[in-house]
Structure 1
Amino acid sequence: MHETSSSTNTKYTTVSGFFLQDEPSTDPKSFDYATSDFGLIKRTYNTDNEYDPEQNKTQWERFYQQVSKLNLQASSNVRYKVIYMGRHGEGVHNVAENYYGTSAWDVRFFLLISYWSKQDGDDTLIWADARLTEKGIEQARTANKFWASEVAMQHIPVPEKYYTSPLERCLATANITFNGLQLPAQQPCITEVKEFLREVIGIHTCDRRSNKAYIHTNFPAYTFEPGFAEEDQMWRSDVRESHSVHDTRMKNLLDNIFTHDDSTYISFTTHSGSIASLLRVIGHREFRMPTGAVIPVLVKAETTHVEPS
């Protein structure tokens, strides 16, 4: 959660031409990651002749080779990473908002009793630090089955590092999604809880996280980033992040990861708002995702030195 302080600036861009979700012609409403191979476009690469002369490698194996070449040939100030962005499964707060309606859930300009997002719950449901519903659990299981199939059949490059939001619905989604996969021995699933991966902060109680002791008790295999506080120090009951503040937070997150994590393939388990913010930061088209969905994005980071003024 720490900002990167240095005399450099890093610009992030989406490298298009590899995934359907990057293409303006792809409709997010009809896109299904599980029937489109995560959106990986069926195409040739300039590494195919050397790497796959007999044409018996999978699309993902050939993609891996192409990304490796991009990094190998990149200048010292350029780095490419593939980020698997997964949205959590359906949460109790999603059900509550659908039940009450967005206008009653999220009235921003009038202090009304029906402003349900400010409450911890109602007589039936509790949505403070919202848990997964049964449907949300099943969506995470679907993702798990699809990952297992991709690993076995397509030899997809699995994440080298796993990061998750500290909110319960993401912690649980990541736990189910990556449970029991046949991963390389040198690439075990060790998930790190990252404060900046959380949803838009403030006002909505569903986005107020539980304390560190609760997370550790319920997800003991997870690790925490350095400096992760016991109590939620970011959530406020009267202020909600703007797009610009959220985008700055996501930019700082990427700066931290691109500076300190040498992995090329990483996984983010996060939220719709934070995925939207990440996509803005990397110059990707808007691409709304349903609960439980996953999209990969190839990201180029180019660092330049900033002369002191």
Structure 2
Amino acid sequence: MKFSTLSPALLGLVLSVQAYSVEYTTETGYFLQDERSTDASTFDYTAVNFGLINRTYPADSHLKKHRNYTQWERFYHQVQKLNEDSPKSVEYKVLFLGRHGEGYHNAAETFYGTPAWNCYWAELDGNSTATWKDATLTSAGIAQALKANTFWQKEITEQRIHTPDNYFVSPLTRTLQTANYTFTGLNLPDGSADFKPLIKELFREGISIHTCDHRRSKSHITNLFPDWPIENGFSEEDELWNGVTAETSSAQDVRSSTALSQVFFTSASSKKEAFVSVTSHSGEISSILRVVGHRAFSLSTGAVIPVLVRAERKGRGQKPVASSSIAWTASAHCTAPPVTSVSACVCPSSAVPVTTPLVTDL
């Protein structure tokens, strides 16, 4: 059963019994972002080698003595050694979790303020100057993605970093654009995997009643990036967004766990494909971090966090299937601009909150 073939009521969630389960843990001590002392609000991944800590590894003793290895080369060798020495039921992967650059919905939330945005403006398709339904990148968002591109090339050239073996991307337009600006045109090392990200429904943003979470059709996505593969079972229209019900955090974590189970233990060579890029969203990345046991770490638009994850498969089944039932929730909103929203949203007395889709003429 695939989420992408289910309605929100079913996705929220009537799920089958697992054939096997996967237990995820974060291997700490490798990245500054793992440490409580690192302040997420001021952290710049481009200033500190993606956050990779300058340290020695147990696997260093197996390296050739006559060569000068960079920190990223030694770390890659450490991950390889962890996979080589682990049983078949255990895999280690480095997830490069990248948040999309600034979208028009981000700019609109800043303009209107978060309370007013959440209770009214986010339920519209846009205003007289901008559209934020399945928002595209602003010029600032494009610049943030290009900054990531420049930094990746710097790491490739100077650190000889191992580039991702697999790329995944959310189907929302802002993430598709971000992945394209970030990875297109890089001078990849010989033998590297080509940048052709798999578009996956389950790596999308938390599904709320906001129109920025309403993805475009499969045909539209194909027209934007015709060379990029789309996962099997991806529906033509968005069957998960209805403008009425929203995922709870628990429901999103179930979805994120299912998405990760489709990244780990995928083939006989899965252990060798240890570096994975996921271009997604702030809410979805927060959910992934919860699932893998990483501390909360909020990303600014366009930022990237690498995480070393240990996955252990439990059970003898052949396929992972989510095994929980988590209800979604209805979200109330104003039917006219709020009277005030300094710290909370107050609807006009003539526009009491409703839980039906908001339809209005702009």
The TM-score, its normalising length taken from structure 1, stands at 0.94
Corresponding position of 2:300: 290
Secondary structure at the aligned position of 1:61 is classed as: helix
Distance 2:38 2:88 in 1: 34
Q: 1:17 to 1:198 in 2, by over 3 A?
A: same
Q: Write out per-residue CA displacement over residues 12-41 of structure 1, whole angstroms, 9 at most, x where no aligned residue.
A: 000001000011111111211000100000
* Aligned with 1:191 (options 191, 197, 205): 197
Residue type at the aligned position of 1:179:
T
Structure 2 gap segments, 5+ residues each: 4-15, 318-362
Match of 2:314 in 1: 304
Aligned residue in 2 for 1:95: 107
Which residue does 2:284 correspond to in 1? 274
Q: How many aligned residue pairs are there?
A: 300
Q: Deviations over 1:180-204 (max 9, x none)?
A: 1122345111111000010011300
AA at the equivalent of 1:121: G
The correspondence for 2:60, drawn from 43, 48, 59, is 48
How far residue 50 of structure 1 moved from its aligned partner, in angstroms, is 2.4
Between the aligned partners of 1:257 and 1:138, the Cα distance in structure 2 is 29
Query: Which shifted more, 4-13 or 144-153?
Result: 4-13
Choose the corresponding residue for 1:213, options 213, 216, 219. Answer: 219
Is 1:32 matched with 2:37? no
When residues 8 and 30 of structure 1 are mapped into structure 2, their CA distance, relative to the original with a 3 A threshold, is same
TM superposition shift of 1:54 = 4.1
- Residue 245 of structure 1, aligned match among 234, 244, 251: 251
Q: Which of residues 164, 167, 172 in structure 2 aligns to 1:167? A: 172
Residues of 1 paired with 2:246 and 2:97: CA distance? 23
- Matched with 1:122 is 127
SS of residue paired to 2:263: helix
Unaligned runs of 5+ in 1: 108-114
Q: Could you tell me which residue of structure 2 aligns to residue 110 of structure 1?
A: none
Match of 1:146 among 141, 144, 151: 151
Answer whether contact 1:9 1:306 (CA < 8 A) is retained.
Answer: no
Paired with 2:34 and 2:17, the residues of 1 have a C-alpha distance of: 31
Aligned counterpart in structure 1 of residue 33 of structure 2, from 13, 17, 21:
21
The answer to whether structure 1 residue 180 and structure 2 residue 180 are counterparts is no
Q: Which one of the candidate residues 189, 192, 209 is aligned to 1:203?
A: 209
For residues 251-284 of structure 1, give each alpha carbon's deviation from its aligned partner in whole angstroms, at most 9, with x where no partner exists. 0001122132522111000000000000000010
Identity of aligned residues (%): 48
Q: CA deviation at 1:55?
A: 6.2
> Deviations along 1:38-64, whole A, 9 cap, x unmatched?
000000011213205346110000001
SS of the equivalent of 1:106 reads helix
Change (3 A) 1:5 1:172: farther
Q: CA deviation at 1:76?
A: 1.7
Matches of 1:53 and 1:62, distance apart in 2 = 12
Structure 2 contact 104–132 (Cα < 8 Å) conserved: yes
Q: Report which of the two structures shows the higher radius of gyration computed on alpha carbons.
A: 2
RMSD, matched Cα: 1.6
Deviations 1:179-237 (A, max 9, x none): 11122345111111000010011300001000011111111121100111111011121
Secondary structure (helix, strand or coil) at the match of 2:185 reads: coil
Retained in 1: the 8 A contact 2:91–2:265?
A: no
Contact in 1 for aligned 2:163/2:192 (Cα 8 Å): no
Q: Deviations over 1:72-93 (max 9, x none)?
A: 0001211100100000000000
Note the C-alpha offset of 1:6.
Answer: 4.5
The offset of 1:5, in angstroms, is: 6.5
Amino acid at match of 1:165: S
Q: Secondary structure at the match of 1:223?
A: coil
Distance in 2 of aligned mates of 1:27 and 1:20: 10
Where 2:92 maps in the other structure, the secondary structure is: strand
